[in-house]
Amino acid sequence: MIATFHRKAPDMINTGIEERIARLEAEAAVRQTIASFSDAVGRDDRPAFHALWTENCVWEIGEPYLLVGRGIGEIAPMLDRLMVGWEFFVQLTHSSAVDIADDLEHATARSEIREFARQTDQSRSYDNFAIYDDALVKVDGHWRFARRSYHYIWVDDTRITGHGYKLPPNLGRPLALQRRLD
């Protein structure tokens, strides 16, 4: 597991308004980065996905599908392998517990995740609950993942039925993601 920053809870009575606002802004930005990850993989937007990581990042996926990528050079092809053959892939981030370090430049987070997917030929389906354990760092004004560790809680590969639909190709990026790419 990723170490969390141990700090005292902010003393809201003795903390200045500017510091409280800065901490809330940092927490909101970290949550946006976490949501942007789910958005980028769901829309299969590789440039947006790559913009969420530090240069020397680590992406780990735990049992039963052990994978580790170190650095953007390994993470990009890792995502390519994971996304091959899916008719659709949806990742939902349900909630995130965020801890901002006192320097307002580092953070840790834990997010509850659900993923749902089916292969194009409908031969395989994928449904799971998991926890992402993250370490983030602020780089050039943007929060990026230094490490993401995916821990499965439950996996079901029972074949699912129903109709899958492609997202429109002109579905735009959220503004926060677009700013990272500009």
Q: Is the peptide bond before 64 cis (omega within 30 degrees of 0)?
A: yes
If you search the block for the tokens 């927490």, which residue do you land on? 27
Q: Could you report the per-residue pLDDT of 28-56, keeping only the tens digit for each? A: 999 999 999 999 999 989 999 999 999 99
pLDDT higher than threshold 60 for residue 96: yes
- Average pLDDT on 137-156 reads 98
- Specify the amino acid at residue 116: F
Mean of the per-residue pLDDT values of the chain: 90
CA distance 155 to 64: 9
What topology is assigned to 17-161 in CATH?
Answer: Nuclear Transport Factor 2; Chain: A, (3.10.450)
Q: Could you report the per-residue pLDDT of 101-116, keeping only the tens digit for each? A: 999 999 999 999 999 9
pLDDT of residue 167: 81
N-term to C-term CA, the chain: 33
Question: 170 phi and psi, to 5 degrees?
Answer: -95, 10
> pTM value?
0.86
pLDDT higher than threshold 60 for residue 11: no
Q: Could you report the per-residue pLDDT of 170-180, keeping only the tens digit for each? A: 787 766 666 66
H/E stretch holding 160: none
pLDDT of residue 175: 64
Q: pLDDT-derived band of residue 73, with 50, 70 and 90 as boundaries?
A: very high
Closest CA to 126 of 141, 135, 116, 136: 116
Sort 174 into a burial class: Cβ within 10 Å, 0-12 / 13-18 / 19+: middle
- Average pLDDT on 146-155 reads 98
